[in-house]
Structure 1
């Protein structure tokens, strides 16, 4: 077979969730499949060395002015030219008109659980809002046309089946994995080097948040504010790759202005260096409002970090009784767990 894989995001320098899932999927296919031929379709990016070509894995860089045009025009055209027998789209959406059989991985459908007004009125960047509107338009059409839909948890499988009335035979839940380098780091010299590199304190809470409201960074800041006031223990809160101005807005909104001086922004940390942060932290905070999976839960656990996560959506399924579960809508519960 000739199989096309949409991997538009893997050449990004700053890779996150879906990017890493697609990259690791391809890397592991390279290890186990020497028979089928693969075309890996990527967008131009700075990290072109993240994936090596092999005799049966050919990387195609497709250029287009925007992501929708890349996906709707360049991608199906390339799949047709390369005579693919199957195209697997890994990033929630796919071409509305595809000349070859299609399989799509849908990581979540949160953009369909809210009204357009709620999506536009929520906090988050303009890029995030437009992305949600794009997915809201495209996904209902492609799920009916594709041969199979893959998602990442039983929770999300039920959500998708309920929203679209899909036949269970074309809907598959396949759990995400964790890269092998996520393991406890105990070497004192290595840990010391990372503490120096990212200016990390001796003891700290660790939160992987962003401007997406579902990550509940505001709730974490409120919980942290309660913790500081109630315990008088100035344990810093470390956050990665978070905009300084956005943090100021959230701190102001939280009602705990004093926490700003105790939050340490460590900048972007490459995925392969995250095990050091997990190994150093006292507690990993991941009380999202909603997740389809929540890979950081498993990453933190693999590195030996205690985890606080939410009792909503997929998180109890993924944490599987190995974390403290809290109601993310009540910051005082997060504080109590801390």
Structure 2
């Protein structure tokens, strides 16, 4: 059973993970296997309409965050186990029902609340640590979304290494180089110039946008527009304030949330993609950008080097001058951009949801054999 209750707009990253995983799992089931989804009626109806008959559903109106789930979900799972309908439960979030009554798999993403305590309340940090530790103790096996995430988990919590497997994420199939007409349509829709540097992601402090703006401000005034696309949290206005103070507010555009269907063309149209994050569990925007043929420069922090391999320019996220120099190279060197474009496409091709689901199924099957 895969819990898809987090497939909502409140969890864009986790929602994307769980829906892509569910689709890829459904395509690889053996004749004697079936995938059971636990979710809200609307989530289930949308998914089952697109999938094979091997996918069945259990409707559940409980949020993953209510106390009610602590007894409702285990009750439901035990009933399924008693009828041999379900053999394991996979939670894609660190809030797991207590004593679920089935062997469990947990997906673990990152340690942002603990790595950046200055930006998270003490209560939130304590709650994260407690609930994560409880979920990790409950889970028979844990899936980390990168080797860096796995190392963080093992260094922070009491978990046996053999219980944790790193299975990398992937870009969706729609992220691929777009035709020029599609790119021009999106550029016109957002009133964008032909050349621009692109960042996609939130403005949370660990994303390091203040350093990105400072590095950009050191470029010549003729540098292409810097486009910052993604959800804007008004609690963190520092990057916008920095652009105003440095006199580049006319050349740094904060686009806000971009329609998902426009992202592939936006990546494809970028002169280069720049990602200065100080910490990522995986770093999906970097992979999406490479899959769309954008030359990529990203920080050398956490999981990013393992995602990009040798297909991107790396820099220290705390070195503003180094970031300026990297952007200058990308702007001036067309041959470099072409090399990065080609190597990025090759690198992105090594990641797929089919591979992710296959590795996940291996864990499911191993657990089912042990429990048989």
Q: Same fold (TM over 0.5)?
A: yes
Question: In structure 1, what is the Cα distance between the partners aligned to 2:103 and 2:257?
Answer: 38
Deviation at residue 57 of structure 1 after TM alignment: 1.5
C-alpha contact 1:150 1:173 (8 A) present in aligned 2: yes
- Once the two structures are superposed, residues 156-196 of structure 1 have per-residue CA deviations (whole angstroms, 9 ceiling, x without a partner) of 212222222422221101111222222111x2222221112
- How far apart are residue 55 of structure 1 and its match? 2.3
Compute the displacement of 1:27 (Å): 0.3
User: What SS is found at the alignment partner of 1:160?
Assistant: helix
Q: Which stretch of the first structure deviates more once superposed, 326-335 or 279-288?
A: 326-335
Deviation at 1:43, TM superposition (A): 4.3
- TM-score w.r.t. the length of structure 2 is 0.77
SS at match of 1:325: strand
TM-score normalized by structure 1? 0.84
2:306 pairs with 1:304: no
* Equivalent position to 1:159, from 152, 155, 159: 152
Please name the residue that 1:39 is paired with.
36
Provide the residue aligned with 2:161 in structure 1: 168
* Distance in 2 of aligned mates of 1:223 and 1:51: 47
Paired residue for 1:199? 191
Distance 2:46 2:263 in 1: 20
> Which position in structure 2 is the counterpart of 1:219?
211
Question: How many residues are treated as equivalent by the alignment?
Answer: 321
Give 1:36 shift.
Answer: 2.0
Instruction: Give 1:4-83 correspondences, 5 Å limit.
Output: 4-12=1-9, 16-33=12-29, 34-43=31-40, 49=46, 52=49, 54-64=52-62, 67-69=65-67, 72-83=70-81
Distance verdict in 2 for CA 1:108–1:54, change over 3 Å: same
Gaps of 5+ in 1: 122-128
Shifted more, 249-258 versus 193-202: the winner is 249-258
CA distance in 2, matches of 1:334, 1:90: 35
Give SS of 1:28's match: helix
- Give the alignment's Cα RMSD to 1 decimal: 2.8
- Name the CA distance, whole Å, in 2 between partners of 1:261 and 1:245: 20
Corresponding residue for residue 288 of structure 1: 277
Cα distance in structure 1, aligned partners of 2:153 and 2:233: 36
Q: Are the aligned partners of 2:63 and 2:69 in contact in 1 as well (CA < 8 Å)?
A: no
Please give the secondary structure, in 2, of the residue aligned with 1:176.
coil
User: Which residue does 1:243 correspond to in 2?
Assistant: 232
Give the C-alpha shift of residue 320 in structure 1. Answer: 0.6
1:9 and 1:43 in contact (8 A); partners too: no
- Contact residue 11 and residue 50 of structure 1 kept, 8 A: no
CA shift for structure 1 position 15: 6.4
Supply the distance in 2 between the matched residues of 1:94 and 1:275 (Cα, whole angstroms): 34
